[in-house]
Amino acid sequence: MIGTRLLVSMLLAGATLAGCGASGEPARGTKTNGEAGIVAPQPPERLRAQVLETLPHDTNAFTQGYEIAHGVLYESTGRVGKSWVRAVDTTTGEELARVALPPPLFGEGITVVEDSLWQVTWQNGIAIRRDADTLAERERVEYSGEGWGLCHQAEEERLVMSDGSGTLTFRDPETFTETGSVRVRSGGERVDRLNELECVNGTVYANVWQTDTILRIDVGEGTVTGEIDASGLLEPSEQATADVLNGIAAIPGSEYFFLTGKLWPKTFRVRFVPQQ
């Protein structure tokens, strides 16, 4: 459970979210060879996760989705028979609501859209719309393929969804209907295993499954603009009983993020800084 120290952390945060915008010529993600007139892919910026604060995390949480909205930290977990979604007050640490998913559902990514929370499932092909306050189920929508990560780009009026590949799918935030997709590349090379997602204005942050890497993605271009090294957050003794990094929650109105993982004993408040 996140404790009351979280309130202090959020009050101290005051900068604009990092990596939220880019502009200029040539197009983002490319550089031009002036002599040959050839446009070559721009390599991503190398960053690392700088830890600013360490907070406790539920070691029973097989984290699949992590997001802060309306002063509430939402978390969804996976595994059949052990999947649940909960809401925690960020100022007090009080658990406001928790709902379990019945078998055979395997919970995955979540995102908040106004007064609703969308939750996807791994191989069940079911998206669940919930009340953001009570987490009560409102409706179910079927989709094709697997569900991994999910986030909401409010300015584009769309959801962004991952399925474990290198393709991100766009969906209507009201109906969950697919509206498009983009294949993500880094330095011109295809990426794969995109997992838990966090939308920050025009940027999407994505965990890469089974790694300590987080990618910062310009989804308009389908280009990785930053590669974040989040290794070494847990002590070796803690890592021995934990699973992979998987949980990114941007702290609204700041440059800071919460990072955690499946069965991790800790959540870390971090910022992404240039790698030395």
User: Residue 135: is its pLDDT beyond 80?
Assistant: yes
Domains of the chain: 27-246 (2.40.128.630)
Q: For 54-86, how does the pLDDT look when each residue is reduced to its tens digit (9 = 90+)?
A: 999 999 999 999 999 999 999 999 999 999 999
Which residue is it, tokens 């996807």? Answer: 120
3 to 92, 235, 242: CA distances (angstroms): 7, 21, 21
**87 burial via Cβ count (<10 Å: 0-12, 13-18, 19+):** buried
What is the three-class DSSP state of 126? strand
Region 31-60: mean pLDDT is 80
**175 burial via Cβ count (<10 Å: 0-12, 13-18, 19+):** exposed
Q: For 200-224, how does the pLDDT look when each residue is reduced to its tens digit (9 = 90+)?
A: 988 999 999 999 999 999 999 899 9
- Which pTM does this prediction carry? 0.85
